[in-house]
Structure 1
Amino acid sequence: LPAGARVGTGSPRRRAQLNAYARSHGRTIEIVPIRGNIDTRIGHVHGGELDAVVLAAAGLQRIGRIDEVTDFLPVDTVLPAPGQGALAVECAAVNVDLAALLSGLDDPHTRVAVTAERSLLAALEAGCSAPVGALADLLADGQVVNEMRLRGVVGTTDGSTLVQLSITGPVPTSLGDAIALGRELASEMLAKGAAGLMGERAH
């Protein structure tokens, strides 16, 4: 992208991390808030109003437009939102037979990862528009998954200040362990000043 490139995104989380990334590389970009469907957003680039837009690759893949992507942002540059990309199936608790059938679709590693991410978000008391990213990923030694790393980031939308920390521990064997991992990382982030970077916190 050229210096001063105009980049469109409606996400405060992406805005904060993209601005921080540009600053760390001595670059300047202008983040432009955008709304609308995929056609509208991509149209801003084709029309010359923006140099780029940031969209979810999964959405473009789903509608058969992944070939229009010019670059994929690595998670080391922009952490996703807590729980992003995870799929869930719900049913009425009273429908025991259906719940038992659906349990076969459950992936324990995904469940504890998403639980840890959401626990981090809850412990930060972040509002729905707060610039918070989180990702729990599994670390394997050969074929054996033995650790989970939880990363979190909170920042000012201009990218001038980021609190970005991680914690690594054994793969949680219960939802309670996953919740505890998220709370532990949140506590460390709050101690580093994360609360002051999120704007209005949820209560």
Structure 2
Amino acid sequence: MRIGTRGSALAVAQTTTVANALAAKTGVVIEIVTVRTEGDTSTESLASLGGTGVFAGALREALVAGRVDVVVHSLKDLPTAAYPGLSIGAVPKRVDARDALCARDGLTMDELPAGARVGTGSPRRAAQLRARRPDIEVVDIRGNVDTRLAHVAEGRLDAVVLAAAGLDRLGRLGAITEFLSLDGWPTAPGQGALALEVREGDEKLVAALNHNPTRTIVEAERHVLALLEAGCAAPIGAHGQIDDGLLFLDARVYSPDGTEKLTSSHALYVSDTVHPSLEVAERVANELLENGAATLAPLGSAQ
């Protein structure tokens, strides 16, 4: 089985984890195939490139062309729109969904001095930083995890905000100076989860790795994004969880400058409806739209 991945250290690390798990579950011999994407080669900001979906395009093209049999995506980077002829065959169990601050001198978010330079390439994180600390300077950055951490180590930035899951997969948890709570700092829909995409009809290739509770939760988060017609780089955070059969979903929309935000929270029992992820997402998205989300954030750019 040929598994396609981006060439970044993080992408290769998470694909290797998937490959090892598939080999252990199925006994199939796995080959990892590196695919170069526009997101890897361009130095433009993610927002100007059209959002993090630029990482998925080349992988999907390789899958459609038959050069690989499976591709591994960070689910937060995958556009919500279906891709003709392809299917998400499995969503493995999610790991840490939180963002993390990696700052100089062990500083936390509240300890950063006024005027501190904090780097991120995410419009959502930028809005959250401006909302939490309007007295700091948010700096748009690109590059892999090590490149971003080097900005701090070499003094060009005071801190960066990164996904805890990625730092963990790379063995870089020691760089974290503060985990940011999901209650006050909701992350990207699907953050901390992977998606294994295959050609339609080939779902059985990866079905052994699917984790149904995770899939239900992240589908609810992503449905909010789709219903708001927002791209995966929009300033929107969402987080779901299942507790004792009850699916909880919280979502928050920010103005790009962080001065305004709207939040909606709903819950329902998974067993009470045929499509629990979609139904709870509709309640959340409708409430956000009724309260003015479309005038607050740049919506209408679904991918």
The two structures share one fold, judged by TM-score above 0.5: yes
Alignment of 1:35-54 (within 5 A): 35-54=142-161
Structure 1 residues 94 and 170: alpha-carbon distance in aligned structure 2, compared to 1, 3 A threshold:
closer
Spell out, residue by residue over 1:20-69, the C-alpha distance to the aligned partner (whole angstroms, 9 max, x if none): 2235xxxx221111111223211221222211101122222222222121
Contact 2:120 2:138 in 1 (8 A): yes
1:159 matched residue in structure 2: 258
Which stretch shifts more, 82-91 or 30-39?
A: 82-91
Contact 2:118 2:137 in 1 (8 A): yes
- Give the counterpart letter for 1:16 in structure 2: A
Structure 1 residue 175 displacement after superposition: 6.0
Aligned-CA RMSD value: 2.0
After the TM superposition, which segments of 4 or more aligned residues of structure 1 sit over 6 Å from their partners?
none
1:114 matched residue in structure 2: 218
1:18 aligns with 2:137: no
Structure 1: stretches of 5+ with no match in the other structure? 140-144
Alignment of 1:86-125 (within 5 A): 86-95=193-202, 99=204, 102-125=206-229
Structure 2 Cα separation of the partners of residues 91 and 158 of structure 1: 38
Contact 1:112 1:175 in 2 (8 A): no
Structure 2 Cα separation of the partners of residues 108 and 173 of structure 1: 16
Contact 1:154 1:162 in 2 (8 A): yes
Structure 2 Cα separation of the partners of residues 175 and 36 of structure 1: 41
Structure 1 residues 185 and 45: alpha-carbon distance in aligned structure 2, compared to 1, 3 A threshold:
same
Contact 1:115 1:175 in 2 (8 A): no
Spell out, residue by residue over 1:79-104, the C-alpha distance to the aligned partner (whole angstroms, 9 max, x if none): 11111122233333334xx61x6434
Structure 1 residue 151 displacement after superposition: 0.6
Structure 1 Cα separation of the partners of residues 156 and 119 of structure 2: 10
2:163 matched residue in structure 1: 56
1:198 aligns with 2:297: yes
* TM-score normalised by structure 1 residue count: 0.84
Structure 2 Cα separation of the partners of residues 128 and 178 of structure 1: 18
Contact 2:229 2:299 in 1 (8 A): no
* TM-score normalised by structure 2 residue count: 0.58
1:29 matched residue in structure 2: 136
Contact 2:224 2:282 in 1 (8 A): yes
Structure 1 residue 163 displacement after superposition: 0.7
Sequence identity (%): 47
Spell out, residue by residue over 1:121-178, the C-alpha distance to the aligned partner (whole angstroms, 9 max, x if none): 1110112331111111122xxxxx1312101011112210001121122135666221
1:70 aligns with 2:181: no
Structure 1 residues 9 and 172: alpha-carbon distance in aligned structure 2, compared to 1, 3 A threshold:
farther
Structure 1 Cα separation of the partners of residues 272 and 219 of structure 2: 12
- Give the counterpart letter for 1:178 in structure 2: S
Structure 1 residues 116 and 47: alpha-carbon distance in aligned structure 2, compared to 1, 3 A threshold:
same
How many residues align structurally? Answer: 191
1:142 matched residue in structure 2: none
Structure 1 Cα separation of the partners of residues 239 and 167 of structure 2: 21
SS at match of 1:129: coil
Contact 1:17 1:77 in 2 (8 A): no
- Give the counterpart letter for 1:17 in structure 2: Q
SS at match of 1:151: strand
Structure 1 Cα separation of the partners of residues 131 and 285 of structure 2: 20
Which stretch shifts more, 102-111 or 114-123?
A: 102-111
Structure 1 residues 136 and 92: alpha-carbon distance in aligned structure 2, compared to 1, 3 A threshold:
same
Structure 2 Cα separation of the partners of residues 94 and 76 of structure 1: 39
